[in-house]
Structure 1
Amino acid sequence: MDHQMLLKLGISALLGLIIGLERELKRKPVGLKTSLVISIISCLLTIVSIESSHIFNDGDNITMDPLRLAAQIVSGIGFLGAGVILRKENDSISGLTTAAIIWGAAGIGIAVGAGFYTEAFIGVILLIISVELLPFLITVFGPKQLREKELILQLKLANKHNIVETTASIKEKDITIKNIRIKDLDTGQLYIRMKVSVHQKRPTTEVYYEIQKISGIRSIEIENV
């Protein structure tokens, strides 16, 4: 076997390992093994595609596109990425970053298979910086909107007359109300569902205890978006 091919597969495995380790540490659905498989097989198919174009050529003229198989990898990975994108009950979408990283692992494998080693290493470095270092810098130095996290508050009030006082008390506790939904309950109580934002470093438990102190609230449920 050509040592160059072994080198390419080894490098793609190493870079896939780095990408997968980042996902594994965050306990994401697509972790170490999946990223390794995607990177290695993408590299292998790229090698096969390039080598096949030279083997099955018409004399000195290459009649087959060297990256024909590699082009299909990009579209094929989309089906795998779609499987990790989830819509939660609160209408929030999760898994987009993981889906993008799956696509990125395939791209790294293709780059290595095509012989672009330096570009592949730089790509992995920039990818890790983008998903690890950049979010941290944004939470420290970014604008206020990017330094906040969203929460879903579900409250039950004793009666309708407490709505204005309750929302005013929530705002006084440095909690921004983004939208609100109100529903009458058969028990005579009032159900309120709010999407609010607080500082990124503020513990959810602290928000819970602060709201618990507001009079007129019968029950509280808080969920991170």
Structure 2
Amino acid sequence: MANLTPINSQLPWLVRVIVASLCGALIGYERAIQRKSAGVRTHIVVAFSSALFMIISKYGFYDLLRLNDVAVDPSRIAAQIVSGISFIGAGTILIKKQQVSGLTTAAGIWATAAIGMAIGSGLYFLGISLTAFLFLIQMLFHDDSLIDKIIMHIRFNIQIEAVNKHHILKTIEDELKASHVQNVSVKILYVNDERIIFFVDGIINNNIDENDIIMSLRKYPDIKRISYTSMGK
């Protein structure tokens, strides 16, 4: 029976995965501000999984490779697990009316595979410790309450279709500023003699309800349609 990897050897690997997770959280924070589907939690889990897969690839088969009679690559099955689980995870991602769901579930499946591989390769301490770490992350970021406390400002993007009148752009800009939308930017997408379609981009405090802003715009009869858009950066 091959010797298990000592715990003191696994401690630096544990630190690597945690540091990678923190880096993923930083990237996810920026995406959350932009109101993207993959936010803080998804980026943490992906960075977590990638770091753990790399450690398993480098060190998970060390005990086996020390045996003189090993003449094949012992990581070939593990590599197939990574790609195979990716297909399963992709099946949990759903897109409906430009809204994406299931990204964090897919990343979680990937992370679960990495933990299973770590324990299967004898890295018990690493696998169990990171299971507890991932469980804590999933619980902390289970809903948006903690994210809302961390993120102060978010991107506000909408598309507006209105009657083409000379005052319409100025009216909308004034209304948005009155609703505390900062750094308002308007880009015309389509215009003719009867109607105008434009994209509005701005920044709002995370405590402001976006629906209230939209309802304040609906009081203008010249505005015919308002919709969320994915044109943000």
TM-score normalized by the length of structure 2: 0.53
The residue number in structure 1 matching 2:227 is 222
SS in 2 for 1:78: helix
Superposed CA deviations along residues 106-145 of structure 1, whole A, max 9, x for unmatched, are: 10121122233332232233224334425644421x3534
The residue number in structure 2 matching 1:114 is 121
Whether contact under 8 Å (1:158, 1:189) holds in the other structure is yes
Moved more, 162-171 or 125-134: 125-134
Whether contact under 8 Å (2:151, 2:206) holds in the other structure is no
1:144 to 152, 157, 160: 152
Aligned runs of 1:134-173 on 2, under 5 Å? Answer: 136-140=145-149, 142=150, 144-145=152-153, 148=154, 150-173=156-179
SS in 1 for 2:194: coil
> Structure 1 residues 222 and 83, CA, compared in 2 at 3 Å: closer, same or farther?
same
Aligned runs of 1:1-40 on 2, under 5 Å? Answer: none
Is residue 2:186 matched to residue 1:180? yes
The residue number in structure 1 matching 2:214 is 208
TM-score normalized by the length of structure 1: 0.55
Q: State percent identity of aligned pairs.
A: 26
Give the structure with higher Rg (CA). Answer: 1
> Structure 1 residues 138 and 183, CA, compared in 2 at 3 Å: closer, same or farther?
closer
Whether contact under 8 Å (1:152, 1:223) holds in the other structure is yes
**Residue 156 of structure 1: CA displacement?**
1.5
The residue number in structure 2 matching 1:69 is 77
Return the letter of the residue paired with 2:200.
Answer: M
**Residue 61 of structure 1: CA displacement?**
1.9
- Give the unaligned 5+ runs of structure 1: 1-45
- Give the unaligned 5+ runs of structure 2: 1-55
> Structure 1 residues 122 and 217, CA, compared in 2 at 3 Å: closer, same or farther?
farther
Alignment length, in residue pairs? 169
Q: Superposition RMSD on alpha carbons, in Å?
A: 4.1
Whether contact under 8 Å (1:177, 1:194) holds in the other structure is no
Whether contact under 8 Å (1:180, 1:195) holds in the other structure is yes
Aligned runs of 1:47-58 on 2, under 5 Å? Answer: none
> Structure 1 residues 117 and 205, CA, compared in 2 at 3 Å: closer, same or farther?
same
